[in-house]
Every structure is written in C-alpha cells, then in structure tokens.
Structure 1
C-alpha cells in the first residue's frame, strides 16, 4: 500500500446496538488505520471481502473476546453471500481495493445504497444446525467443559466437546487404570485438550483450528500415548453468543 491517495470516500460503521454512522474515508493509510481501530474498538482488524467493491472490517478476535453479535452487519453480508455464521463486534464497511492494493472508500451512491439496505434489513437467521446447543448438552451429544477449568485455560467463552471427542480424548475412570495398567486423570486429560485447543485457536486465522495431541487411547489395553487429532470450531450459541465446540475431524 502507498502512504497516501487522492480519492477519499465514505465508510459505513454498523454498531452491535443497531446504530450506524456514515464516516469520511481518508486518503492516507495512517488515518485509515486509526479509523478502523477506533470504529471496531480493537487493536487488530480483519477484512472480509464481500464483493470486489465491498469490504467488511471487524475485530480479528471479536468472537473469541466475547463481543456482542452484530445482526445488522451479519444481514448485510447475507445479502451478497450465503450466511454460514454470525459476525461479532462493530463493523466498518468500505469499498474494495484499487490495482495498487489501496483500500477505497465507498462512493456516495454505494454508501446511500448500503444505508438503504441496512435500514430495511431484517434479523438474519443462523443456520438451524447451530441453534440447538443446549438441547445437545442435555441429551449428551455435547459435553459442557467446566467453566472454571476453561477460564484457567484461557477461554472467555463456553467450550463443549462432542460425545465422540470426549470419549476419545478425555473420558477415563479408575476401572480404566486397572484394565490398562496406567494411571490417568479425567480432569488432567481435559486440561490437555483445552490448553492445546487454546494454543491452536490463537494461531488460527479462521473459525476452525486443527488440534494435535497425544493421549493414551481408552481401549482396555494401551499404556503409551498415541497421536489424536481434533478440531476446535468457533460459532454462535443458542442466543448468538460466541461458543467453541471441539470435535473429531470426521464430525466436521
């Protein structure tokens, strides 16, 4: 990116509380970054390219940091692309990029059209398969990780494991100690999963993080650790709040 441009435009700020503001989009890169950080209320922003002429900017860790869901921004995205998730935190909409990679502002017509779309927006629906978390926990399909242990591992959002992931990497009993002639602790096994998942999420730039760990397989005879793979997926909970689900790769 060059340090300055001569064609400023506009940017639309859509807040999580439903308020919106049309901002002047400056020419200089430094001023653009200041506006992005201030508008999204964060230190690191992520660009979601919606079309060649429309970009949505958000807090890079909005979901992980338990920012509120942004229904307006989520709906605006859904008007252009299929919706697979909700978006979190304040959102700033700009134009696309020019041939030199400079971020362009919206034109007056583009900004007016985006405002009109926002004002007539309905509340988006998150796909149904992501809205039955509580029922899945009650029915045993998901195992809710203890909140205190999750906080100690660095999570600020609820974490649950699928039944299959729990059985493969966490579940253990005193009977297993005797059968497999090795001493394991279920809480310790869960701690290993949580810590490695947290590290993997921190390194990941997307909504899924691949987790690799070694655990003693609960098969009635193993006594040495073997490789296991999990996937930690960030998504919306029953009320649109950010949650994390840890599952086997075959369950994606």
Structure 2
C-alpha cells in the first residue's frame, strides 16, 4: 500500500502541477474561459489510463500460468525502468517544467483541440506510468492494498494540488522529488528482483536460485514491519542469490548516480 500511495502521490502531484500551471497561464493571459478545455483534456487522460489499466489486467487473466509469469516479469522490469527514469527526470525537470509547459501552451493557444491534446498528453504521461507501476505491484501479489493505497495517494495529491494552485500553499518540489526519488529507487530495485523471480517461475531463468537467507521466522513479510519494508524497499524474507545480486546491483549503480547528480535550485510551487 505504501509504495502505491507514494507513486500515486508523486504522479498525482505532477498532474496537479500541470493543471495548475495551465490554469495560472490562462488566467494571466486573459483566457480563463478556456479552462474547461483543460479539464476535458485531464478527464480524457484519466479515463484513457483507467481503460488501459483494466485492459492490461484483464489480458493477463487470459494467459496460461507460464505466460502469466512472463507477463509479470515484463511488466515488473518495465515498471522498474520507468520508476528509475521518472526519478531522474523529475529531479532535472522540476525547475523548468512550468516554463516548458507555458511555452507549449502559447503555441497551442489558437486552437481548442490543440490545448486539449496538450493537456491530455501531459497528464496521460503521468497516468500511463502510474498504470504500469500499479499493475506491476498487483502482479506481484499485493492484492487490494495496491488500489486502495493508490486512491489515497491520488486523493492527497488532489487536495495538495488545489492548495498549491489556489490556496497559497508552498511546496519545495526539488526537495520533495529528490527524497521520494530515493525511496522509489529502492521500490524499483524490489520490482526488478520480483521480475527475476517470475522469470524463474516461468522456467526461463534458473541460475543463482540458491536461497540467500531466510528471515521468515524473524521478520515475515506479512508482519507489520515486514509489510512496510516490502512496500517501501522491496524486502523479501526468502530471496534467492540472484534476486539479492540484482537488487544490490540496481541500487549500486543508480542510487549513487541519483544522489550525486547536479542539484538545481529548488523549485517552490505556490502563490
């Protein structure tokens, strides 16, 4: 639940930031009457992403067991890569997102269809990422806690977006995306390790399957602490040597690069 909450909180805040920037730009340029077009683009993106998620989930149910494991591994690896890419991209883009979006809105200002398409694509990008992440978590057996956590994250993001855009709340986006990015890199490493486990269950990867350690009697995954660690950091009570190696290699390469990447001046959103 915690990872789903965090992912949807991040994605929801990015989408809220996009809508807030669009609303502010239209208000400053005297085109507030075009705001319904922004809502149309936002709603269309949300419906399209919801349809994509339901379609992929139903598609996975049609596969035989082996194909389901392969599908799970592909989605898990894709989600891990997208999580890592999102963390790095938002660290760089938090400062310039507003300027870039306003420039694209200026180019689309003469056409209602172009404005709808611009907002649709910007919001849908966040939505597609969220769909892939949540699907990967659900494929790895997290159950209903994933959609519940995701909905809570969206709700908090929606409230924060309203407060930022119209309520005067200030948020340091640079710091927020930096430290949530660290947590999501750990979650991405856990997704990658889970994808390797699915490849083994599908009979495709059979190397390094010796048990690395067994903490199931000390810290089971279904305990409160185990659930928190599994959700935030990809903890597994009985991982194989291959899973541990992939997890550590993933973090060993990406985490230092993320933490040492040049820091830009913090972007603070609000009025």
| TM-score normalized by the length of structure 1 | 0.24
Indicate the structure with greater helix content. 2
| TM-score normalized by the length of structure 2 | 0.23
Indicate the structure with greater strand content. 1
Higher RCO (CA 8 Å, separation ≥ 6 residues):
2
